Structure 1
Amino acid sequence: MDYAIKTLSQLRPILLGFRKSAGLTQAAVAELLGITQQSYAQLEANPASASVERLFKVMRLLNVELRMSQASSTPGSEPAQAGTSKNQRQVPAAKKAKPPSIANRSSRTQKASSSKQPPGAITTSKKRENW
């Protein structure tokens, strides 16, 4: 069955439905992906925050394929401007940023060097899953 996804909020129920129709639990999908159940639950709860690569891994695992097609024109939609295609947006020119002054550079260097830990110090960091 095909589903038209037009907003990011539509991803969650669709992923959930495909997972359940495959007869898989969140824990089972997580195990197949090599991650924790909590990580998969977070992705499923908010798939809009996941990377496209991660979404594709989940879709491959659930045997779901992505198809893209151009939507048909609807009454009341604005016509494309002359010289631009329907899918292109006009982006204003960015202002040129001024390079940081020498004074700013030296203060940043001092801040960076002051945050270094002494040799042999033990650092604790939250372990990140690489999937």
Structure 2
Amino acid sequence: MFPQRIVGRLSQRASQQMRPGSVRSTVQRRFNSAEAKPSWIADNEFNRERAAVKHHAASTSDLWRKLSIFAVIPCLIGGGLNAYNLWSEHWEHWEHMPPLEERTEYPYQNIRVKNFPWGDGDKASFSKHI
């Protein structure tokens, strides 16, 4: 709707002035602004506060970018190394333990009140029930 209004206004100006370059100069004048701050912006409290909020947002986003690069990435690398070391120590510990079949089963292990729908639950193979 807004582009239609703009085109309508431009066509009215062109028909009133009847000069071939008038429409083109109007459009160029509108979009080619050399001013850093347009003259129609009032210097009031709202606009000053808005500019301060934009400045604050730009500075804090720079802070979060720096934190992401210089704090988060090294922490992720350190956490990954720690997880890898714990994983290696865990499997080194399991290598020294006897196999599962040779370990003692105590009465408090594998307590079941009723069987699972696929059997007693001691076997992991489902192929014989399918």
TM-score by length of 2: 0.20
Question: Over alpha carbons, which structure has the higher Rg?
Answer: 2
TM-score by length of 1: 0.20
Greater per-residue helix proportion: 2
Could you say which structure has the greater relative contact order, defined with CA pairs below 8 angstroms and 6 or more residues apart?
1
